Each structure stands twice: as structure tokens, then as C-alpha cells.
Amino acid sequence: MEEEKKRALYEDINEIPFYFNGLGFTANMRNQLFIYDIEAKVIAPIVNPNFSVGIVKVSDDKKKVYFTGQDVTGVRKLTTNVYVYNLDTKTSEAIYEDDDLSVARIYLLKDQVILAGTDMKDFGINQNDDFFLLKNKKLELLNLYRGSIGNSVGSDVRLGGSPSDLTHDGKIYFVTTIDDHNELNSLDLLGNIRLEYQFNGSIDGITLVSNEFYAIGLYRQKLQEIYHLDLKVNKLEQRTRFNQAALKNKYVAVPKEFIYREHTHIVKGWVLYPKDFNPNQKYPAILDIHGGPKTVYGKVYYHEMQYWANQGYIVYFANPRGSDGKGDAFADIRGKYGTIDYSDLMNFADLIIRKVPQIDITKLFVTGGSYGGFMTNWIVGHTDRFKAAVTQRSISNWLSFHGTSDIGFYFSKDQTGGHPNLDTEKLWEQSPMKYAMQINTPLLFIHSDMDYRCPIEQAMQLFSILKEKGNDTKLIWFKGETHELSRSGKPQARLKRLTEISNWFEKYR
């Protein structure tokens, strides 16, 4: 206990990352793997003390444990090897040692090991995954999928998490993000991928019960419920009403779709009309920008937007280039932050103003979190069209982000296309801080001091410059909250956040 008290006073750091959002300090800490003998009450380690375990998969016969991981030697790598532990012989063996793949998932199917992962060579760290068969310590390409595996549809009403893939009847079933929604696909050992169910919403988890598929989902404008997916007849049946009462007698706006078309691509987005909408009346409007950037907005329930619609705002949101669901090329904005994505958002805003004449163009507002916070900072440094703005858990300076974010040492180089020392001007050009002296829009900062993804110093820098400059600005510093404040923060903190944002807009309404 005395030693623990001493350790509470400091951290010994000799590696990066040294902390991680939501986990705290992680330097010198390792994810370990053990076997516990229930009868003997003995715990035995499978890996050495310096080895950090990633993915773990146990075979159906409980004879083998497959896992990824690495010995940490100062800088954690994005690639990893694959290992197997034999419970009978109590020995481990490396079954893939080329260390050239970022492994996202391990699947065990009919005694075969299948990996989902990427070599990151074509589109960097955000490159979509392919499927590989692991045989004789070598990878055989099973399917050049290059699709989004998993769910990247955003919402702020989820709690906890559930599996997004499973194996059944000789196939792997996995959730994928397509455009603005999720689909359930299957993959067999011949590499054939088949669309099993198109879910026009968000699949937040899947499971099998008596050989029938069930999903936790956000469907239409409902909160999470359990749905039966009948793959044979392509039918959806809602099985629960757990959260129905929460929205009873509440106004819930139905998103109306709008599409901005360029000769090279389209940008899809939506508008929420306010409660008691009068087509002969003018309304203030809020542009809400998602994080990521490789995530998507969908047609699912988003509480903050529905709240603002209930407060008399027209709310609009879109998936510009950089978003997920449309392939690697659409999502690739490396070295282009603040250029093509900014153009897409402003062109979409222009489209909405043309198509929705009820918008009062003198009362336009903008907000966003994480990448959306970056874009908010960027927007107010490049246009005065918005009357007020709120930037949340944002990036303002790529140069300092590199050394302070838990992912900064690789994310900033990949996304900006440069090194902070070797390509300083390139990173500075893409940093909203460079354009701080051009900001005239009243700007509210929302940031948490335990946000290790976009550290609070990012807000401190820009806020201090604007305050010194004489701008109308304010910083709400949340204590003990992380990057996930708006999604899983403490209820009182989440209420404070939404109240402050709404009051800031009301002040200029």
C-alpha cells in the first residue's frame, strides 16, 4: 500500500502512447492473457510480461486460443503478428510473423483461421479491410473486400456494446457500413460475399438464438430495440419495446433527404424540420458535423439534433468526403483537411438554403465534435457566414496534437501527410490555429480534461488567442470527462454540455 501511494504521485513514461482515452495512463501496462485452473485456483500466464495482447479468439473445442499482440519496445506498432496457444501442450506458437498487417478481426471457421485486416499501403490507416486465409504461416487473399467492416453510423443514444460478427453454418456473418446504413453480409471459405440483410438503420449488435438472427438496432427514429432478422424472407420484426415510453408524446422529426451532386461524387445529407413547422415562417438553422472523419450520419435517432428541432431550429447534417460507407477513395482526405471536405460542407449548406427557403440566412449556426470540432474551427477561420459556433473536443493545431494525443504520433502523420518537424508548414497549413486571427464568429469551446484523443490543450490554444484578440468566446472545461462526453459522459455533464450549446445559439438567435 505504501508503494501504491508513492506511485500515485508520478508516472514513469518510456513509451508511446503513454495514455489512452477512457483508460488513463497506460505506459508500462500490458494487456495480458492467462489460464485459470478453477480446481487448483492457480493463474498461469500465456505470454511474457512485456507482451501486449490484442484480439483473443478461443476455438469451439476449447483446445486452442488464438491471439494477436506484440512486444512493446518504446513505440507501439499498428501491425501485429498472430499466435496460437495449445491448451493440451501448454505451448504458444507464432502462426503469422510477417508483421505487415493491421489485424482487425480473427475468425475461426471449420478449422480455418481467417483474418480481416489491412496493409495500409494504398489509403493509410483508414484503409478498409480485406479478408485473408491464414495457412502454413502465410496469408492467402480470400476476398479483396475493401469495404467498411463494422458499424460507423453515429448516434448519441447508445449504451454499451455488442458483437458485430459471428460464425454460423460454415459462414462468417458481419456488419458493414454502406452509405448511410448498415447491412449484414456473409463470407464463406471460397471467398464469396453475400448480402444477407439490408438494415435501413444501425445494427448495434447481432446474435443467434435457435439458428435465428437477432439484432440490437436503431431503426427509423426509434431508440434501441431488439429486432428479429428473417434472412429467408427478408423480413424485419421488432421484438421489444424497451425504450418506447421515452419518446411517448414527444415530437420526433423525420429526416428529409437532400443530395448535393458534383461531377465526381455526391454528398448525401438530411434536414430535420422544427416542431410546429410553419412554411410561411423563418427559422434559425444549425449545421451539425460528425466526427471521425471516417464515420457517417444516417437516418437514425440523434438526440442533440432532435432537441434543437424541438427548440425551433432547422437542423441539417451530411456526409462529406472523408466519411465512411462509400469506399476508400471517398474517405481519403489525407493531406486535404479543410479543402475538399470544407467545399462539400459549404456546398451542401448552400443547397439546403436554396431548397429550404424557411431558413433565416442571418441566423446560421454550426457545431461539431472531434473531426466535426476541427471543421467548426476551420469554418469560422474561413467564412463569417455563421452567426455563432460551438466547437467540441476539437483539433486546432496538428503540430501539438502529434505529441499530446493518444493516437497523435501516427494519426497526424497519416492524415496530414507530413511530419511535424520535417513538414512543419504542411501541418500548419492544415491547422485552424493558423487562421485564428481571421476568426470573427462568436465561438464556444466544449472540452474535457481527460480527453486524451483530442487533448484539452487544443481548445486552450485557440481559446486563448481569441480571448486575447477580444472575440466573444467561452471555454467550458469538463472535469473528469473524456472524449466520449456527448455519448457516455455522466448525466449531469451531458446535460450541462447540451444546455451550454443551446444557450450559446439562443444568445445569438
Question: Region 61-72: what's the mean pLDDT?
Answer: 95
Decide: 371 and 292 in contact? Cβ < 8 Å. Answer: yes
Domain 251-508 sits in CATH at 3.40.50.1820
**Annotated catalytic residue within 181, 290, 402, 483:** 483
Give the pLDDT band of residue 3 (cuts 50, 70, 90). confident
* pLDDT tens digit sequence for 205-242: 999 999 999 999 999 999 999 999 999 999 999 999 99
Distance CA 101, CA 116 (A): 9
| Residue 160 pLDDT > 90 | no
Catalogue the long-range contacts made by 32-35 (C-beta closer than 8 Å, 24 or more residues apart): 33/65, 33/67, 33/85, 35/87, 35/90
Decide: 132 and 118 in contact? Cβ < 8 Å. Answer: no
- Which amino acid makes up residue 326? K
| Residue 161 pLDDT > 90 | no
Give the pLDDT band of residue 61 (cuts 50, 70, 90). very high
**Annotated catalytic residue within 370, 412, 431, 448:** 370
| Residue 362 pLDDT > 90 | yes
> Which pLDDT belongs to residue 341?
98
Distance CA 132, CA 138 (A): 9
If one counts every other C-beta atom within 10 angstroms of the C-beta of residue 247, the result is: 14
Question: Region 39-62: what's the mean pLDDT?
Answer: 95
Give the pLDDT band of residue 293 (cuts 50, 70, 90). very high
CA 502 from chain centre, in angstroms, equals 24
Domain ranges in the chain?
1-29, 251-508
Question: Region 148-165: what's the mean pLDDT?
Answer: 94
| Residue 7 pLDDT > 90 | no
> Which pLDDT belongs to residue 6?
82
Give the pLDDT band of residue 159 (cuts 50, 70, 90). confident
Active site residue 483: yes
* pLDDT tens digit sequence for 22-47: 999 999 999 999 999 999 999 999 99
This prediction's pTM? 0.96
For residue 279, count CB atoms less than 10 angstroms from its CB and return exposed for 0-12, middle for 13-18, buried for 19 or more: exposed
Average pLDDT of the chain is 97
